[in-house]
Amino acid sequence: MIRLIDLIKLAGVELGNYKIHLATGAKDKPINAFYDGKFKEWQEGQRQRNFECERVIGMIHIGGDRWLFAGVWDVHGCVKKPDGFRYRTTEIGGLEHIAGRAVISFRRQFRASYLRGDNFGHHLVISEIRQERLSVENFPGYSSTRLPFDTLCVVVRQRPDAWVTALRCVAGVYLIADGSNGKLYVGSACGEGGIWNRWETYARNGHGGNKELVEVIKAKGIEHASHFVLSILEICALIATKDEVLARETHWKNVLMSREFGYNKN
């Protein structure tokens, strides 16, 4: 059993008086800020004076009891802002080999997100060190694609070659699940640009021009798109005709009953 604080100390970093930041977020997700290279700025904005300490260990929730080690920061104070406080921090060097790669096992049995290091540091156990730094660069494969809307926006903004190449070269049928109510929308993409061009449109406006989703976004605002999760049900060759792709779309609408209980109307 290897603890995170032991790896940090082996790198020559003394933590001193430190806190552990368990970074979560329903709307403004820290993992997307990390993908975008903006986690430092995301973390520096706080509603309360949460970082009254010398250093902060940043950990981003990635599911269950798993947290991604994002780095360690020196705290240089904060200034009061209308919406809370803005901290000034500097990332500690020498930890590049584990930041974004070390996955921590920690069971959070309370709501607190800012933990005193001397109370909880010894509970942070390394469960995995990834071969590569976690990023949106890696395309997981068509059958494993599960893309929250906010992450889709990061992918479209960064345009990683693996994602663009994989999604531009196929037509197919995709699913949008609304995490706020469980409703489903089945859509399809065909022709030049394939699924990539279709999903790029969703990233721009949240509804992709689909009449049913336009109504949802109009009623609830673009912020509601953050509840959407996109996945791929079936891929087809780009040479497939529009009628062939639409036939598969109809099949999946029937299977998932997205007309009866979801957002599809036709």
Number of folded domains that form the chain = 2
| Per-residue exposure over 235-265, b if at least 16 CB sit within 10 Å of its own CB, e if not | bbebebeeeebeebbbebbeebebbeebbbe
Residues 176 and 201 in one domain: yes
In DSSP notation, 173-206 reads: EEEEEETTT--EEEEEE-STTHHHHHHHHHHHHS
Residues 39 and 112 in one domain: yes
Residues 52 and 158 in one domain: no
Residue type, 41: E
Phi, psi of 60 (to 5 degrees): -105, 130
What is the residue range of 153's domain?
142-261
Q: Residue 181: what pLDDT?
A: 95
Average pLDDT, consecutive stretches of 10 residues, N- to C-terminus, the chain (266 residues) = 93 95 82 90 95 97 93 97 95 94 93 94 94 83 93 92 94 96 96 95 95 95 94 94 96 97 94
Could you say which of 129, 153, 169 is where a domain stops? Answer: 129
* 65 found inside a domain: yes
CATH of residue 222's domain is 3.40.1440.10
Give 1's DSSP letter. Answer: -
* 89 found inside a domain: yes
* 136 found inside a domain: no
